[in-house]
Amino acid sequence: MRLQNITFLIALLVLSACTDRKKEAATLLIYGGPIYTVDSTQTQVEAVATKDNKILFAGTLSEAEAYKSEQTQLIDLQGKTMTPGLIEGHGHFMGLGYNELNLDLMNTKSYQEIVDAVAEKVKTAEPGEWIIGRGWHQSKWDEMPEVTVNGFQTHDLLSAVSPENPVYLKHASGHASFANAKAMEIAGLQILSKEGIDKFVVEGGEVMRDELGRPTGIFNERAMTIITEHIPETTAEKNIKAFELAVAACQRNGITGFHDAGIGKETIVLYEEMKTANKMKLRLYAMLTGWDKELLEEWYEKGPMVDPEHLVTIRSVKLNCDGALGSRGAWLLEPYTDRPGHFGHETLPMEFVKETALNGLRKGFQVCAHAIGDRANREILDRYEAAFTELPDTTKDHRFRIEHAQHLHPDDIPRFAELQVIPAMQAVHMSSDRPWAIDRLGEKRIKEGAYMWQRLLKSGIPIVNGTDVPVEPLNPIASLYASVSRKTLKGTPEGGYESDQKMTRAQALQSYTLDAAYGAFEEDIKGSITVGKLADFTIYNQDLMTVSEDIFLDTEVVMTIFDGKVVYEKGK
């Protein structure tokens, strides 16, 4: 009798559970195409059901039917492919928005095209109005001008078409800029003597000059502040417009999460306002800019802000420790092959890196340090290791990162896994930079230590992928293609550069989803299609896991689902 009672109770509980399950209706049911989960327990499913902004079920379509009601919205993929929502692992969110507002020079192929673009802008600008732009990259031009200094153009042609308008054009990398004569005049750089110009020397930067000591218009690294401090501050209206443009760009590209690499007080206030206004239609993981020590002290005092709504989280610090390879600002152990005697720039004192690492460990902040050159990477790893040794009890789950980790000395590659330092690498940089990077570093350094994805992954450390937008276009398909092909976006060379370092397609997708979530301490809430996680998904016109490589770049985002709602549909 007692056994019968126990059996009856078990049956009752099972029936009750089934009844509850029937009552739990999905708000959204997606089916009809390949669904890649990035979940190791079931890598591919037939259907996904969500309730409000959470994943309710992932599995077979027949099982998913149990969650359907008359109110459930149905999305038939009709053969299209779905993955977890993509996460931009390193970008500049407001830079993305402002790139759409200002002069976009990303596709310029010569100095003359820059001059022409500025000349066109001058026609509609008021005298004295600043003309701002970004995106030029001399190493990507089809031809170089006749007159160059250290591989860069000079300002004369630019100044000739903009005599009454100060012009400031940022390099695609963000680590150099180009100014015209009017902008330099405003900054007080009209002095031509070498003695006069010397007073504008900035530690960690360079004002490039010709053989007569005159400024060429190129400002490298921290020397850019000589010009930027004279540019009028932007308006609140323009900030809001740039924010909205950036959100729309993310949605068009299937980006539902964004690691914002370095923001200040004004941007923090803007994000809070946008969240309050219900305009925060993606998940921002923001890094405090390391340039503002007062800001850091303020946040050390109050501690990280982990948003319970998972919209704006601030729990990391961004340090800019060297420059870019394109502007020869990356800090190298050996001199540049194409500029003998030049090693790049240390743009932040290494003692400050250690100090920040110690503060991060004590106060609960992740540290994310920009390093492109092999010396910068080594020096930062050394400072991280010193901090870990000094405070061993605080290092169990620090998840410190190095942003870019583009060029490494072979001895330092295994140190990432040993120290559990996450490399946040933008695969599309390899595609864009590799054809000319060999001129900067030479063949040996390229082959032994540049863009070492597979060696890092095999050592046991995840890679966070992305684009560094607006350094590169936000398009994740281009970065995924670079990850798996190691080719330029023109499909060259055959077999790819250093093909042994290619990611598999599964690794590439994971670097844009679950590993990116891990890099922000968010793998428990997003990054895979797993029951209980947030309902963020990206849908594509073709199966990016199986489509042949030669048409991979034809992949398009056709729908983006954020927080359980469709926020973008191509053509609508």
> What are the residue boundaries of the structural domains of the chain, listed by start?
24-79+530-572, 103-228
Q: Which residue has the tokens 């050394």?
A: 382
Write the CB contacts of 5 (distance below 8 Å, at least 6 apart in sequence). none
Q: Are 447 and 501 in contact (CB under 8 A)?
A: no
Task: Give the whole-angstrom CA distance, residue 296 versus residue 303.
Answer: 10
Mean of all residue pLDDT scores within the chain: 93
Q: What is the pTM of this model?
A: 0.86
Exposure string over 453-471, b if 16+ CB within 10 A, otherwise e: bbbbbeeebbbbbbbbbbb
Q: Which residue has the tokens 């191509």?
A: 570
The CATH superfamily label for domain 24-79+530-572 reads: Urease, subunit C, domain 1 (2.30.40.10)
Q: In Å, how far from its chain's centre is CA 448?
A: 25
Question: What does 1-33 look like in DSSP terms, one character per residue?
Answer: -HHHHHHHHHHHHHHHHHHHHHH---SEEEEEE
Q: Supply the angle between the helices 476-485 and 427-449 in degrees, to the nearest 10.
A: 30
Residue 8, pLDDT > 80, answer: no
Lowest mean pLDDT across 77-81, 135-139, 295-299:
135-139
pLDDT of residue 18: 46
pLDDT of residue 194: 52
Lowest mean pLDDT across 115-124, 251-260, 377-386, 540-549:
115-124
Residue 119's H or E segment, with its range, is helix 111-122
Lowest mean pLDDT across 11-25, 428-442, 473-487:
11-25
pLDDT bracket for residue 424 (50, 70, 90): very high
pLDDT tens figures, 343-356:
999 999 999 999 99
pLDDT bracket for residue 21 (50, 70, 90): very low
Peptide bond preceding 470 in cis form (omega within 30 of 0): yes
For residue 281, give the amino acid letter: K
Mean pLDDT of 433-459: 97
Q: Supply the angle between the helices 265-276 and 236-252 in degrees, to the nearest 10.
A: 70
CATH fold label, 103-228: Diaminopimelate Epimerase; Chain A, domain 1 (3.10.310)
Mean pLDDT of 294-321: 98
Question: What does 301-353 look like in DSSP terms, one character per residue?
Answer: HH--B--TTSSEEEEEEEEE-B--TTTT-S--SS-BTTBTT----B-S-HHHH
Residue 199, pLDDT > 70, answer: no
pLDDT of residue 189: 83
Mean pLDDT of 303-313: 98
pLDDT of residue 212: 86
Select the more confidently predicted residue: 488 or 22. 488
Q: Residue 293 to residues 297, 349, 354: CA-CA distances in angstroms? A: 6, 13, 14
